[in-house]
Amino acid sequence: MYKDEQEVLQQQAKMAAMGEMIGNIAHQWRQPLNSLSALNVLLGIKYKRGELSEEEMEKFQKKSNELIQSMSDTIDDFKNFFRPDKTKDRFSVNEAIHNAIRFVSNSYLEHKIEIIFKEQSSVEINSYKNELIQVLLNILNNSKDALVERSIVNPKVVISMLELENEVIIEIQDNGGGVDEIISDRIYEPYFTTKFKSEGTGVGLYMSKMIIERSMNGLLMSKNRGDGFLTIIRIGKEVDDWSYSI
């Protein structure tokens, strides 16, 4: 693939990821905004009734500050995710997975999708944390879309992890019915998507594969298993400084 085309794909992947992130921020903010609105209504009612004591005001101030801080923390999380930092760091794989889960938690909750992380003992690797989170988000969002589109009863996504001598294996399994075998070999091709054109660009999984395999000494693969789709991420515990190529 020519360099110019690769750069276009990379930019499209970033824009698609940003669109997903903006949607996730909206989900993360909706609950505290609703809570703040309810607090304000209650405050007005108590004021009109003459029931607004100093103690009630202190409770309102404490609760509203907590909600505002939660919203501020969300902005910090997403800002850090998009930080243009291409240097490797030593980080906990568990923490990266928890970060990805936190980013999608409200959208999963909205659609009543259970997400389970079978957490193992903490494993640290020397690699690119934000890029791993981006890959996890792509996969988790794809699973969510499949589960919602097919109206799966008791939808569920299970994340598990296994530590080997020189690598870490992350498995993400959903119960969304899997992928048609005819197209299963094409899902990592650029611009290939099973979604409507208005809903998908077909670059998310392609870039995810490039990130894992070209930048993280790893392997990204998937297959149908049981009643759903299994994605396997294998990443090296150590990544050379020169390996970042996306």
CB 118 within 8 A of CB 159: yes
What residue segments make up the domains of the chain, in order of their start?
Answer: 3-81, 89-243
CATH class of this structure's domain 3-81: mainly alpha
**Single pTM value for the model:** 0.67
Query: DSSP letters of 27-39?
Result: HHHHHHHHHHHHH
Q: Do domains 3-81 and 89-243 have the same CATH topology?
A: no
Going by C-alpha positions, the residue among 28, 209, 228 that lies closest to residue 144 is 228
The pLDDT profile of the chain, 246 residues, written as one tens digit per residue, is 555 665 555 556 566 666 666 666 666 677 678 778 888 888 888 888 888 888 888 888 888 887 787 777 667 656 655 555 567 889 999 999 998 898 888 789 889 999 999 988 788 999 988 889 888 988 998 899 889 999 999 999 999 999 998 899 999 999 999 887 776 667 767 655 555 333 444 457 777 888 888 878 899 999 999 999 999 999 988 876 544 444
Is the CA virtual torsion 91, 94, 96, 99 positive or negative? Answer: negative
Question: Which class in CATH covers the domain with range 89-243?
Answer: alpha beta
